[in-house]
Amino acid sequence: MSVAVAAPRRRPFIRKTGALPGFGLALGYALSWLGFIVLLPLAALFLRASSAGVEGFAVTLSDPRVQHALLLSFGVSAIAALFATLAGVIIAWALTRYDFPGRQVVDAMVDLPFALPTAVAGIALAALYAPDGLLGAPLAKLGWQVVYNPIGIFIALVFIGLPYAVRTVQPLIAEIDRELEEAAATLGATRWQTVFQVLVPPLAPAALTGLALAFARGLGEYGSVIFIAGNLPGVSEIAPLLIVIKLSEFDYTGATVIAVIMLALAFLMLLVINLIQAWSRRRMGNA
């Protein structure tokens, strides 16, 4: 698989890559690593699930408890990802555009949810928002209970998803010229017009990437959610927990069936997000 042999054979898709050497090697590397790390385990998953057959999938999908768990997982992940993206863009903006004492520290703090074991995050959030917790107590006085129900899941997933949103838009904000805003202002744009017609469009593709990452991360999240959700069947039971329950029943096939359904749905949604992203990128002309 040496490049020297590959190049003279005039394979068109190799020549297209330009003058940079090492394409064959790099692609071979990428594909074999992807194969071992991603494709092989996924293939094993699909193989196991396929032993359930079509009716196995149909039975699982028609179970109201599974339906509710899937709806909950996808719904809350989507809402949490949207919220995290909105908050993330604003945080990224503040961290990139303004200089203030301690900015580096705040900037580093954004990454903490990446590094924290998720169970710790779940326990900490539950402690904070529980009816006798620091934030939970005043909320409880207002009659709001925000843990041990789907709102708890939302809180955990926003926490988990936030760094993805911040880190994907931050480099782009750094790239946007300040003069762009000034030019918009001198040309008579209002502040809102500047924000929505000058600043938001170039940020949109990156924000969408952050959204997709936060969403995907939220879907698979288990460790933090089970400590704050209450896990009541048909109320706050997430799909990953159903998988764990199936495993506890030694029902490996049942577990993989739910996993494959989740994977397929997640893939669909990520594909849609990617398409929107590609479209908005084309519209911006910076493909």
Partner 1 sequence: MAGRDSDFVGSQGRETSASVRAGKAPAPDRAPRRRRAGVSLAALAGVAVLGLSAAASLVGSFPRPAHAAQALLNVSYDPTRELYRDLSAAFTADWEKKGGGALQVRTSHGGSGAQARTVIDGAPADVVTLGIPSDIDAIARLTGKIPADWRTKLPNNALPYTSTVVFVVRKGNPKNIQDWSDLVREDVGVITPNPKTSAGGRWNFLGAWGYAAEKFGKDDAKIREFVGALYRNVKSLDTGARGSTITFAQRNFGDVMPAWENEAHLITGEFGKDRFDIVIPKTSILAEPPVALVAGNVDRKGTRKEAEAFLKFLYTPEAQRIIAKHHYRPSDVSALKPEERPADIKLFRIEDLLGGWDVIQKTYFDNGGVFDQLTARK
Q: Which residues are near partner 1 by CB under 8 A?
A: 64-65, 68, 108, 111, 114-115, 117-120, 123, 126-127, 130-133, 147-148, 163, 167, 170-171, 174, 220-224, 226-227, 230-235, 240-241, 243-251, 254, 259, 262
Tell me the closest approach of the beta carbon of residue 8 to partner 1, in angstroms. Answer: 37
Tell me the closest approach of the beta carbon of residue 41 to partner 1, in angstroms. Answer: 10
Residue whose structure tokens are 């760094």: 163
Tell me the closest approach of the beta carbon of residue 33 to partner 1, in angstroms. Answer: 14
d(CA 75, CA 283): 29
Tell me the closest approach of the beta carbon of residue 256 to partner 1, in angstroms. Answer: 11
Beta carbon nearer to partner 1, 151 or 184: 151
Beta carbon nearer to partner 1, 70 or 126: 126
CA nearest 215: which of 276, 174, 282? 276
d(CA 60, CA 196): 45
Tell me the closest approach of the beta carbon of residue 187 to partner 1, in angstroms. Answer: 30
Please count the residues of the chain: 287
d(CA 81, CA 79): 5
CA nearest 85: which of 284, 277, 279, 285? 277
d(CA 247, CA 259): 11
Beta carbon nearer to partner 1, 60 or 194: 60
Beta carbon nearer to partner 1, 156 or 184: 156
